[in-house]
Structure 1
Amino acid sequence: MNQKSVHKVNFSMDIRKKRGILQLVWEFIHPAVTPQPPKNMYYTVWKSTANGNWYWNLKAANHEKIATSEGYVTKQGALHSIELVKGSNNAPVIEI
């Protein structure tokens, strides 16, 4: 291996180290900007391009879908239904 290729390898390693340090500094300064995976269940809300209705999914911390909503004409309707589901934690389970 000649001297030039050795310098290129060392230079590349230095760049990777610097990028890692810069990433850590960025995450420390701007923690809200760095996406963090949810640690609990969470809701996703979106508008369908097919019919224009709003929908939501309830997802587990492992990102698996647990529940899906019906379609709502407005985003506010979808958000309201999420609040209703959140408030139903004491609702009884009735087998039919």
Structure 2
Amino acid sequence: MRTIKPKNFTGSRAWEALDVETIDQATIRLHWTDQPYKWHVNDGPEVFVVLDGAVDMYTRTNGEEKIHILNVGDIFHAQDGDEHVAHPVGIARILVIERAGSV
């Protein structure tokens, strides 16, 4: 057993992750970042929970971009094929649940 305090986790680089658990084919990871990720499409669903800070989540559908403003406690859910990129506003800590080995 262990207790993880997200506010105490700081990475040495953007999107550094602390692996929490792998359950069946899904990974649960705590990410620390102060930089945007990259535009990507996961090969399965993704659940993205803001634990600390704020994130502007950009999505693109049929060439049209939209921004979803995420604050502490907000959950973003992307289905397989949904194009998106996370832009933290300052430092953010995020819990991500996705298929193991996903982008």
Q: Which has the higher contact order (CA 8 A, sep 6+)?
A: 2
| More helix, by proportion | 1
TM (norm. structure 2) is: 0.26
